[in-house]
Amino acid sequence: MIKIGVVGATGYSGVELIRLLLNHPQVAITKLFGNSTIGCSIEEVHPSLKKMISLKVEKFETNALKGLDLLFVAMPSGQTMNVIAEAIKTGVKVIDLGGDFRLNDPEVYSKYYKHEHIESFLLNESVYGLCEWNENAIKTAKLLANPGCYPTSILLALLPLIKNRIINQNFISIVSYSGTSGAGITASANMIFSEVNESVRAYKVGNHQHIPEIKQYLEQFGGSKSSFSFVPHLLPVTRGIYTTIHAEVKEAIGEDDIDNAFVSSYNSSKFIRLFGTAIPEMKDVLYSNFCDIGYKLMDNKILTVFSTIDNLVKGAAGQAIQNMNIMCGLEQTEGLLKCSR
């Protein structure tokens, strides 16, 4: 059995991790760590877990990692660096669901995340966990940076088109919509029900922290630079991400070329569902680790691609477990293929 610890166990991603890991036949959750809920049983904090797991939430200490094989860290960016550095020193594998180890350049990190990176020496050791595009590197990772939720929905949809030279990369328009759980569990006045209900709003236009992540990995996995705009929106729903991408196709490109690009990229990917020219819906991926992708090619040679995921599963906890499976030599689907609630 793989002995697991979870830091940030009572947040949205932490609870989603626990929910999924309880169904994993090769895993034993042995430690839960938190801050404001230290000393409480996890089932007291989240009654949905009653009679499923009753571990107490502990304060994180290095000596508490003894006996663990792998540590999931599900805390806001900027709060994880010391914890991760301590875990790496003890030889425990780490999967970070935050953004602290996704970017190569600490200066770019500081610009977008608004604080200094105090463990930048670990950036070169970090492996980006986009499972469908970086599996070989993930297999030997000691520190795994789980992709952001928006970048997951965007990269999975765009990379086959860029890799196969389907679209012009001089300008790509990306518009994404997310449920409110993407903002985390911490209370915020602009996230209360009466502020988000019956409304849609764009936010962090031009300065969202996922912009450099999208840019870095479009270039790394796609093999060339792209110019794009990214506009995220908040939806009055709890979970889910829906991304719509517009780009101009290259001369003589048709639907067969687009289909071939997606099929050749994902013919062995267990969690990518291709809809062809049908349009996927967000409701069909909720509580699952699937990414659904469809497209429409217009007469004016503009290609519109649709991509949808559950931000808490494929965009966070589910992809983290998929990465764990790869790191531990298990089937990627272990504990995930039938994870609907």
Q: Given a cut of 90, is residue 236 above it in pLDDT?
A: yes
- Helical packing angle, 211-222 and 106-113, nearest 10°: 140
Nearest to 301 by CA among 339, 250, 259: 250
In the chain, residues under CATH classification 3.40.50.720 are: 2-147+314-327
pLDDT above 70 covers a percentage of the chain that reads 96
3-state per-residue secondary structure call for the chain: CEEEEEECCCCHHHHHHHHHHCCCCCEEEEEEECCCCCCCEHHHHCHHHCCCCCCEEECCCHHHHCCCCEEEECCCCCCCHHHHHHHHHCCCEEEECCCCCCCCCHHHHHHHHCCCCCCHHHCCCEEECCCCCCHHHHHCCCEEECCCHHHHHHHHHHHHHHHCCCECCCCEEEEEEECHHHHCCCCCHHHCHHHHCCCCEECCCCCCCCHHHHHHHHHHHHCCCCCEEEEEEECCCCCCEEEEEEEEECCCCCHHHHHHHHHHHHCCCCCEEECCCCCCCHHHCCCCCCEEEEEEECCCCEEEEEEEECCCHHHHHHHHHHHHHHHCCCCCCCCCCCCCC
Instruction: Determine which of 14-23, 27-36, 52-61, 191-200 has the lowest per-residue pLDDT on average.
Output: 191-200
Is 291 noted as a catalytic residue in this protein?
A: no
For position 44, what pLDDT does the model report?
85
| pLDDT bucket at 183, cuts 50 / 70 / 90 | low
pLDDT digits (tens, 9 = 90+) for 78-122: 888 999 999 999 999 999 999 999 999 999 999 999 999 999 999
Question: 273 has which bridge partners?
Answer: 292
pLDDT digits (tens, 9 = 90+) for 245-276: 999 999 999 999 999 999 999 999 999 999 99
In the chain, residues under CATH classification 3.30.360.10 are: 150-311
**Architecture field, domain 150-311:** 2-Layer Sandwich (3.30)
For position 304, what pLDDT does the model report?
98
For position 92, what pLDDT does the model report?
96
Residue 74 near residue 98 (C-beta atoms within 8 A): yes
For position 185, what pLDDT does the model report?
60
Q: Given a cut of 70, is residue 184 above it in pLDDT?
A: no
The one catalytic residue in 149, 291, 328, 339 is 149
Q: Please provide the average confidence, as pLDDT, over all residues in the chain.
A: 93
C-alpha 332, offset from chain centre: 15
Burial of 138 (0-12, 13-18, 19+ CB in 10 A): buried
Domain 2-147+314-327 of CATH type 1.10.150.110: no
pLDDT above 90 covers a percentage of the chain that reads 82
pLDDT digits (tens, 9 = 90+) for 9-20: 988 899 999 999
Instruction: Determine which of 140-149, 181-190, 258-267 has the lowest per-residue pLDDT on average.
Output: 181-190
Look at 97 and 339; give whichever has higher pLDDT: 97
